[in-house]
Amino acid sequence: MSQNAPSLDTAGLLEERLEGVSPRAVLSLGSHVRVHFDARKARMQEQTQHRAALAFDYQGHLAFGKAPKDLIVKRPGEIPLRIIRNPQAEAAMRQHLLDCGLKISLRQSEALGDHPGEHFELGNEGAWLTFTKQHLPELREAGWLIEMDDDFYFNLSEIEDWYADIEQAPEHDWFDLELGIEVEGQRISLLPILLQAIRKNPNLLNGEALALRRDDEMLLVTLPQNKQRVALPFSRLKPLLATLGELFFREPGETSQSLRLPRADAARLIALEQGPAIHWQGGEQLRGFAQRLQAYSDKTVSPPEGLQAQLRPYQVHGLAWMQALAELEVGGVLADDMGLGKTVQTLAHILCEKQAGRLQQPALIIMPTSLIPNWQDEAERFTPQLKVLALHGIKRRNQFKHIGEYDIILSTYALLPRDLKMLGAHSYHLVILDEAQNIKNPRSKAAQAASQLKTARRLCLTGTPLENHLGELWSLFNFLMPGWLGDSKSFNHDYRTPIEKNANSQRLAHLHGRIKPFVLRRKKEQVATELPAKTEITQWVDLTPTQRDRYETLRLVMDKKVRDEIARLGLARSQIVILEALLRLRQACCDLRLLGDESSTLKASDSGKLTSLLNMLEELTQEGRRVLLFSQFTSMLDLIASELKERGISYGKLTGATQDRRSPVHDFQAGEFSVFLISLKAGGVGLNLTAADTVIHFDPWWNPAAEAQASDRAYRIGQEKPVFVYKMISRGTVEEKIQLLQHTKANLARGVLEGGSLEQWQISEEDLAALFAPLDK
């Protein structure tokens, strides 16, 4: 800087010169609310304008504008002062503003009145907010003088702190959460503030729109107490709105300072710790619960010692998940697809509890009646250390007093309401509902009875937690954690109506987020890398009482007929009679109507196998499975087809009577129908049906090789999905007994299944006695 002695200007007048001085930028900011009549909308419209004005301070004297004119300062009683402006420095400062996004204003505005500076503007309020929060601090740091009018809209108060207060009453299963900020030493709740903001901008609750917001973006809000304005960063708002968003649907009164949440919603607290630091007050136990709930997905466990099964990795994860929920004393839904081993995972969990010393009371498992034998077999096979008591049948009355002596108690949905008084006299370490969709109607007797059982831990097993509508999911959670999804009326208002009738993706996302910690859902495709290419599963079925009576009558007649024939002709020459007897018994196992007598009085429910099959097909088709169903009996396929038609399940059929084999195969591969009914002889070989991922053998062909050939219609080159093969076996009948003989009597199996000669059979009197043995009582 240099200041020269007085000199003459161009007119010969005496003046003082000042040059070589670096100016200081002065930025003035102001706003103005303009009210005008909008002719298009025929109403008064309010518009807020904002402006910035740039000037340059030369030792207390302001210059502005681009023209590189000297600044002449007249001084009363003194000679004038000529300031030589620095155009390079001014241009750099002007360019800095342009780099911040401002543009030279071409329109007049009263935002800064007659301020003589060079006026700049921004395109929208979001840009002004970003400029105020991000760039003004940088300009101040660079030495700029910032002057704000009192009415400048973005003259923001600083947020000094973020806080979260939790109040929890020990006797209640809920807590109050207040989230707020501290401004000038005053604590201010955000709930009423955000409610106002959401009403003005509903997109704040749109998950997709929210995700597009940058963390450094700001939401400008006005504080109700003193009308100050603050900027809330989206780095804080995104987890807050995404986590608690649907709670704002309730729209509490303007004076509400806190949210009332059920205890299970504590999982959401963890997400609130994202973004700027937040100071928590109270609720230490609750926050600890939330942290453990979040960490459950990282929990690792080893399968219990003595488990007689090799768990696959996804099954070990399922075991860890159940263990974590048990520690937290919350319920859950294991919703694996059919065939992924929900039973063995559950048994492993119970065995873990036993070995840890926590199974001081038994685990009660409720299931459809047909699954009782399955659970007994699986427990005996995988966890023989656990004592199992099945409470079904007419003799169960004398067994209730022994409940405390067992590790696992089995009962059924049909018996639960009747036995509730006796079952309810005990407390249980764990209550499990298998095929839990059986309580999808909350008003059913089974659902109401299940909710009255005394236990601290509850678990649901189902491949179809949601079959028809969201109310079914609510019913499951009403059993698992009563009241957690609200009462039925509020759930319908908050979720069912918006999601089912209005396809509201926001509400759906909120519901998913709310149940996510408590539902473990794995589809076959997700764990395909952990599964063998083909998984074979034996599906045990019990005969109905009607079937049992008819089977026993028929067995006695056939047993006498076979023995009389062998006595007359000898074993080797009695082939036709033995085959006929076995065929008739196998038909009785499938459906009594195949026998041809008294069929007019029989219906589908009189067949245990057909009933079980229809339940399987409903579940499989709801999962999107493509099914090949094989049977030796074309008349059985006709009965199945009739039931599928009645239930609206799409199907095709291929038998020896089918003249055009190509069309149904093409239609199935093209996805025209879900279930392909095939007679074993007509379709057991020569077909490529890689669209299928499930094979069901309704009446086993008994020859493992022939079964494998049929199964390989789906499991062959070109198949990209895991294939699941189900063999339906009627328990205690000739079907089960021949299956057992497959392992020890291969020649007998080949003879029976392939219709070979007696020389191939090599049957013994002991084998014959086993085949025609009476049913177990």
pLDDT digits (tens, 9 = 90+) for 704-745: 656 666 666 665 545 567 788 899 999 889 888 877 765 544
pLDDT at 396: 85
Q: What is the pLDDT of residues 535-581, one digit of tens each?
A: 788 888 999 999 999 999 998 998 899 888 888 888 777 778 888 88
Q: Which stretches within 222-340 are classed as H helix?
A: 234-244, 284-295, 313-328
Vertex 421: Cα angle to 420 and 426 (nearest 5): 90
Q: How far is CA 386 from CA 308, 350, 354, in A?
A: 12, 9, 8
Asked whether the beta carbons of 263 and 286 are under 8 A apart, the reply is yes
Asked whether the beta carbons of 199 and 314 are under 8 A apart, the reply is no
**DSSP, residue by residue, 761-774:** H---HHHHHHHTPP
Asked whether the beta carbons of 705 and 730 are under 8 A apart, the reply is no
pLDDT at 663: 82
Is it the case that residue 248 has pLDDT exceeding 60? Answer: no
Question: Both tokens of residue 226?
Answer: 């003193």
pLDDT at 716: 52
**DSSP, residue by residue, 72-122:** EE--TTS--EEE---HHHHHHHHHHHHHTT-EE--S--SSSTT--SEEEE-
Phi and psi of 254, rounded to 5°?
A: -60, -25
Report DSSP state, residue 70: P
Percent of the chain with pLDDT over 70: 81
Question: Both tokens of residue 747?
Answer: 């020649």
Q: What is the pLDDT of residues 153-187, one digit of tens each?
A: 888 788 888 888 888 776 666 778 888 888 888 88
Burial track 111-137 (b if 16+ CB lie within 10 A, e otherwise): bbeebebbbbbbeeeeebbbbbbebbe
Is it the case that residue 758 has pLDDT exceeding 50? Answer: no
- What does the pLDDT average to over 410-422? 91
E strand or H helix at 379 = helix 372-382
Q: Which CATH class name applies to 301-486+516-527?
A: alpha beta
3-state SS class at 45: strand
E strand or H helix at 535 = strand 534-541
Who has greater pLDDT, 1 or 671? 671
- What does the pLDDT average to over 20-48? 80
- Start-to-end Cα distance in the chain: 114
Q: Which CATH class name applies to 537-771?
A: alpha beta
Q: Residue 462: is it exposed, middle or buried by C-beta count within 10 angstroms (0-12/13-18/19+)? A: buried
Q: What residues contact residue 422 under an 8 Å CB cut-off, 6+ apart?
A: 400
Q: What is the pLDDT of residues 463-488, one digit of tens each?
A: 777 656 677 888 888 888 887 777 88
Report DSSP state, residue 499: I
pLDDT at 164: 83
Which residue spans within 292-437 are E strands per DSSP? 332-334, 363-367, 388-390, 408-412, 427-428, 430-434
- What does the pLDDT average to over 660-669? 80
Q: Average per-residue pLDDT in the chain?
A: 80
Q: Find, among 266, 264, 248, the residue nearest to 256 by Cα.
A: 248
Please report, as a single letter, which amino acid is at residue 12.
Answer: G
Phi and psi of 340, rounded to 5°?
A: -95, 5
Question: Both tokens of residue 319?
Answer: 């075991």
Tell me which residue has tokens 């100050």.
Answer: 228
Percent of the chain with pLDDT over 90: 19
pTM, rounded to two decimals: 0.59
Tell me which residue has tokens 């966890």.
Answer: 383
Please report, as a single letter, which amino acid is at residue 738.
Answer: I
> How many CB atoms lie under 10 A from the CB of residue 208?
10
d(CA 617, CA 639): 14
Asked whether the beta carbons of 252 and 261 are under 8 A apart, the reply is no
Q: Residue 664: is it exposed, middle or buried by C-beta count within 10 angstroms (0-12/13-18/19+)? A: buried
d(CA 190, CA 193): 5
Give me the numbers of helices (H) and strands (E) for the chain, helices first please: 26, 33
Please report, as a single letter, which amino acid is at residue 107.
Answer: R
Q: What is the pLDDT of residues 307-366, one digit of tens each?
A: 998 888 889 989 999 998 888 888 899 988 766 788 899 999 999 999 998 999 999 999
3-state SS class at 579: helix
d(CA 726, CA 609): 13
Tell me which residue has tokens 């026993």.
Answer: 552
Strand pairing category for 723-730 and 534-541: parallel
Q: Find, among 204, 200, 207, 249, the residue nearest to 497 by Cα.
A: 249
Question: Both tokens of residue 252?
Answer: 């509490």
Which residue spans within 454-506 are E strands per DSSP? 454-455, 458-461
d(CA 704, CA 742): 8
Question: Both tokens of residue 704?
Answer: 């493992």
**DSSP, residue by residue, 616-654:** HHHHHHHTT--EEEEES-HHHHHHHHHHHHHHT--EEEE
Question: What length does the chain have?
Answer: 777
Q: Which sequence spans correspond to the domains of the chain?
A: 2-148, 161-295, 301-486+516-527, 537-771
Residue 641's pLDDT band (cuts 50, 70, 90): very high
Q: How far is CA 663 from CA 392, 422, 694, 768, in A?
A: 48, 58, 21, 44
d(CA 121, CA 53): 9
Q: What is the pLDDT of residues 112-151, one digit of tens each?
A: 877 878 899 988 888 888 888 888 889 998 899 988 887 7
Same fold for the pair 301-486+516-527 and 537-771? yes
Q: What residues contact residue 2 under an 8 Å CB cut-off, 6+ apart?
A: 19, 20
SS3 content of the chain, % helix, strand, coil (to 5): 45, 20, 35
Q: What residues contact residue 137 under an 8 Å CB cut-off, 6+ apart?
A: none
- What does the pLDDT average to over 93-99? 91
